[in-house]
């Protein structure tokens, strides 16, 4: 008899963004004259830059001629893109990563959801709390997380590592020993990050306990401070214990274009088995390659002009981050992030819960953000605003917040 994968039935509803959408819809219906500004979802607003567009147009034209047409892309990605990534993102920074250790994909969401497949179901995962939900949900779907405890809002077989203001958003090493450790740095949602010395302690810890770190660097382009590492491979020993996932979404505005990559170093082995060959097998079996046009767009990101243009995009959003951070700080809010990340994580005022503050901000300032509790129980009492809006909307949102929270 056919049976469904019952692990899916254990998943809590994807409550966060649907509840936000419902609340905003109800507010707009009741207040049709009020303009709502959305600083909630982490999608970008600025268009693709000229060098990237030009490369895409050229690739589209190539696809229209028999001599330059491209069919299936190599599963692991075109060499022109893998080489550009290896050179610019790693070798220029002194990290030893070769082009054939890079696996091109359609984005970091797919990779961060799929990577767990190459590990045994008995592996225990450790995640920070709050956390980007994909890490936990993908493991829960596979049956690795136990049961969901509605009351505690936690899975019974997941090791949670709280990241709060009390520990400076630097989680302590867990008491129980994990097999897989998910780290997202700079962090979504807290916007905080680790220094190289702090990250090195995680690499040393993973090496000591025999765990693998799954390092999500989707927001790497937003790092502005000197002592913050741009890759986990800046740390000694990381090639033997870490996989790094990257995205073109937030640095180059590819959220609707779709491109990312995973680095699986050849030195990374579990009980003698190289994870590189497992991921190559998985990728080759289940993924038919990112489109040629998009990989050419990705290649353009690494040209001098492309690099300059994407720095412009990042600066644009970081100017919003500054406006939000400084505006909220001047009002006496306790504010984190927004320096090395496009997210501002604030403590809700007057001990409001995350959802109470969501309602308050929506009704008083007509601004939408994301309740911190939606990212995990330790996010309760916090709230996330994103810097991905336009300058105009961000400035307007802050003016309204200043008027209403003086």
Number of H helices, E strands in the chain: 13, 17
> Interface with ligand PLP includes 386 (CB under 6 A)?
no
d(CA 228, CA 289): 32
Part in contact with ligand PLP (CB under 6 A); list of ranges 12-20, 198-206, 235-243, 247-255: 247-255
Cβ of residue 259: shortest distance to ligand PLP, in angstroms? 7
Give the orientation angle of helix 15-30 with respect to helix 354-365, to 10 degrees. Answer: 30
Q: Which of 107, 306, 372, 374 binds ligand PLP (CB under 6 A)?
A: 107
Cβ of residue 182: shortest distance to ligand PLP, in angstroms? 10
> Interface with ligand PLP includes 138 (CB under 6 A)?
no
Q: Which of 49, 51, 112, 320 binds ligand PLP (CB under 6 A)?
A: 112
- For β-strands 269-270 and 125-129, DSSP reports them as unpaired
Q: Which residue's CB is nearer to ligand PLP, number 106 or number 365?
A: 106
Q: Which residue's CB is nearer to ligand PLP, number 249 or number 320?
A: 249
For residue 363, what are its two tokens? Answer: 């009704």
> Interface with ligand PLP includes 45 (CB under 6 A)?
no
> Interface with ligand PLP includes 144 (CB under 6 A)?
no
Among 265, 298, 309, which Cα is nearest to 80's?
A: 298
d(CA 208, CA 241): 10
Part in contact with ligand PLP (CB under 6 A); list of ranges 17-25, 32-40, 105-113, 191-199: 105-113
d(CA 153, CA 389): 31
d(CA 406, CA 404): 6
Do 80 and 292 contact (CB within 8 A), yes or no? no
Q: Which of 171, 186, 260, 381 binds ligand PLP (CB under 6 A)?
A: 260
Residues 158-217 that bind ligand PLP (CB under 6 A): 184, 188, 216
Radius of gyration of the chain, Cα coordinates, nearest whole angstrom:
21
Cα 319–324–327 angle (5° rounding)? 115
Part in contact with ligand PLP (CB under 6 A); list of ranges 7-15, 88-96, 103-111, 316-324: 103-111
Binding residues vs ligand PLP (CB under 6 A):
42, 107-109, 112, 132, 184, 188, 216, 218, 247, 249, 255, 260
């Amino acid at each position: 008899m056919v049976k469904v994968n019952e692990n899916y039935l254990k998943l809590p509803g994807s409550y966060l963004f649907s509840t936000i959408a419902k609340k905003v819809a109800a507010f707009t219906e009741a207040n049709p004259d009020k303009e709502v500004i959305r600083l909630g979802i982490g999608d970008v607003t600025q268009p693709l830059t000229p060098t990237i567009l030009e490369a895409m147009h050229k690739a589209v034209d190539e696809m229209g001629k028999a001599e330059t047409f491209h069919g299936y892309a190599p599963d692991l990605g075109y060499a022109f893109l893998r080489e550009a990534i290896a050179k610019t993102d790693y070798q220029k920074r002194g990290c030893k990563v070769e082009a054939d250790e890079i696996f091109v994909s359609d984005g970091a969401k797919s990779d961060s959801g799929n990577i767990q497949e190459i590990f045994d179901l008995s592996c225990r995962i450790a995640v920070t709390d709050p956390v980007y939900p994909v890490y936990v949900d993908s493991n829960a779907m596979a049956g690795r997380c136990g049961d969901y405890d509605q009351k505690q809002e936690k899975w019974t077989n997941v090791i949670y590592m709280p990241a709060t203001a009390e520990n400076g958003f630097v989680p302590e090493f867990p008491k129980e020993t994990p097999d897989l450790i998910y780290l997202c740095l700079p962090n979504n949602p807290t916007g905080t990050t680790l220094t190289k010395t702090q990250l090195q302690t995680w690499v040393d810890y993973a090496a000591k306990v025999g765990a693998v770190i799954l390092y999500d660097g989707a927001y790497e382009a937003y790092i502005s401070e000197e002592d913050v590492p741009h890759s986990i491979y800046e740390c000694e020993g990381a090639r033997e214990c870490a996989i790094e996932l990257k995205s073109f979404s937030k640095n180059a505005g590819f959220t609707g274009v779709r491109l990312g990559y995973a680095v699986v170093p050849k030195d990374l082995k579990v009980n003698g088995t190289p994870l590189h060959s497992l991921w190559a097998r998985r990728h080759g079996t289940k993924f038919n390659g990112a489109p040629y046009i998009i990989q050419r767009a990705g290649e353009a990101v690494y040209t001098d002009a492309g690099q300059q243009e994407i720095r412009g995009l990042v600066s644009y959003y970081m100017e919003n981050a500054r406006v939000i951070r400084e505006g909220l700080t001047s009002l006496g809010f306790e504010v984190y992030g927004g320096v090395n990340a496009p997210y501002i994580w604030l403590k809700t005022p007057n001990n409001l819960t995350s959802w109470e503050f969501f309602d308050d901000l929506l009704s008083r300032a007509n601004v939408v953000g994301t309740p911190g509790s939606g990212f995990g129980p330790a996010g309760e009492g916090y709230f996330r605003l994103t810097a991905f809006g336009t300058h105009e909307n961000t400035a307007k949102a802050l003016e309204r917040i200043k008027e209403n929270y003086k």
